[in-house]
Amino acid sequence: MAKPDNREDNVPRLQKAITNTIRNMREAEEYLDEHASEIGDEERRRIEAKNERRRESLAGLRSEIRDEANFQREQGE
């Protein structure tokens, strides 16, 4: 028999992922600020591209939290 869908920890799990992603993005930006004169263009572009992917990921994670909130609201009705 299939396991029931347990979504109780989804919002905290998603929020933790958002927090970690934001922290990583800020650390990368700080690294770029501190070492701009020491790193090459390729490394700078790689870090900037990774942060852009992080921004896209944040949008997806926030959307998932909204979806989860709607699901929980519907289940409570």
Question: How far is 23 from 17, CA to CA, in rounded Å?
Answer: 10
The pLDDT score that the predictor gives to residue 5 is 67
Query: Do residues 65 and 15 touch, judged by C-beta distance below 8 A?
Result: yes
Percent of the chain with pLDDT strictly greater than 90: 70
Question: How far is 58 from 36, CA to CA, in rounded Å?
Answer: 25
Question: Where are the domains positioned within the chain?
Answer: 13-76
Tell me the pTM.
Answer: 0.82
Predicted confidence band of residue 31 (pLDDT cuts 50, 70, 90): very high
Name, in order, each residue with C-beta under 8 angstroms of 14's C-beta and a sequence gap of 6 or more: 61, 64, 65, 68
